[in-house]
A = this chain, B = another copy of it.
Amino acid sequence: MARRPTLKDVASEAGVHPATASRALNPETRHLVNDETAQRVHQVADSLGYQPNPIARSLKTARSASIGLIIPDLTNPLFPPIVRGIEDVLGGVGYNAWIINTDNDPARETAAVESLRNRSVEGLVFATARLHHPFIEQLAAGGTPTVLVNRRLAVSDVPSVTGDDAGGVAMAMRHLVDLGHRQIVHLAGPQDLSTGVNRLRAFRQALEDHGLENSPSRLKLCSAWAETAGAKAVTELLDDGVEFTAVLAGNDLLALGCYDALAERGLSCPGDVSVVGFNDMPFVDKLSPPLTTVRIPHYELGAEAAHLLLERLRAPDRTARSVLLPLTLVNRQSTAPPRRL
């Protein structure tokens, strides 16, 4: 197999110095070279099938046209669309992403970031942010271009791209109230994540806005975004005799658990209890009943995060900006007017 041509090959074939060939081939520096020469170099490069060696370039420039993407777990259906959004935008400008799964293990996170830095990644996108996340804060404070996606930090100027949870909850609650519901419970997600606390906060706000009683018994804190946690919460609610006609689940998995618990007690959805989820995961439209849920534009979240990061790379001194993407209520069959008044 013939050795791949190098810049030197192109240069000698075109009768110029390698430095000139480099300048001619690099769009950034092409203007420094005689137009005619540049064209010749390009022709030779094409005919030889020359492809620059990104490794050599990285070594010299300490840049790599790549970024690191840190996610909890690729098999969680939330993340693939985010990843694709990021990759599609990056790909458009010749960048690539290294994807790391941390399984929410801080040790893996730090190790991964260390190894990414050795690879000279130019920036980092985290989908793993907890409300208090010293590691990320340090990194960002240390000047590493960093963007958060899907989740954000509690107080910080690290730019983030997230869904407008407050708006989403408000829509969901209005929907339930419009249907006639007055006794609504919330299955809140982990309170160390921005999504968990923001949705809970918005739930309380909505109760107030609609003049509904803010009864502590109508709130369940779930320690994980998991079906079992949702089922457990609803079972306890039922056992405690809490009255409710609707459930706002912190996410779709919790809503799924809710379905399970309801079914186990012989309660029908939406006949006895309406349920609203969050995320619009794949296939929740295939449940029975199809789940009414607040859709988060995950692909767009990723795309926007990539844009933000690229912008930071180009203009590091521009002030950080976070973006909130609008959510939409997907109205399916798991919500209906309450049976009892």
Contact = CB atoms under 8 A, between A and B. Distances in A.
A55 B143 contact: no
A52 interface: yes
A43 B74 CA distance: 37
Interface residues of A, number: 41
Nearest to A98: B96
B80 A74 contact: yes
Nearest to A64: B55
Tell me which of A74, A77, A117 has the highest count of chain B C-beta atoms within 10 A of its own C-beta: A74
A118 B75 contact: no
Interface in A58-99: 58-59, 64, 73-75, 77, 80-81, 83-84, 87, 96, 98-99
A282 interface: yes
Nearest to A259: B286
A96 B287 CA distance: 37
A4 B4 CA distance: 32
A118 B54 CA distance: 7
Contacts of A142: 1
A56 B59 contact: yes
Contacts of A73: 84
A194 to B, nearest CB: 24
A295 interface: no
Contact of A52 (B87, B118, B284, B286): B118
A256 interface: yes
A250 to B, nearest CB: 18
A119 B96 CA distance: 11
A217 interface: no
A119 B54 contact: yes
A53 interface: yes
Given A51-B114, A118-B52, A142-B1, A77 B77 contact: yes
Nearest to A58: B55
Contact of A99 (B59, B77, B99, B286): B99
Nearest to A284: B283
A120 interface: yes
A288 interface: yes
Given A1-B142, A1-B143, A75-B81, A55 B256 contact: no
Given A51-B114, A287-B287, 11 more contacts: A55-B55, A55-B58, A55-B118, A73-B84, A74-B83, A80-B80, A87-B101, A98-B98, A259-B286, A286-B286, A287-B288
Interface of A: 1, 4, 51-56, 58-59, 64, 73-75, 77, 80-81, 83-84, 87, 96, 98-99, 101, 114-115, 117-120, 142-143, 256, 259, 281-284, 286-288
Those 7 A-B pairs whose CB atoms lie nearest each other, nearest first: A288-B288, A75-B80, A74-B80, A283-B283, A55-B58, A55-B59, A51-B118
13 contacts: A51-B115, A55-B55, A55-B64, A55-B120, A59-B59, A73-B84, A75-B80, A75-B84, A77-B80, A98-B98, A99-B99, A282-B283, A286-B287
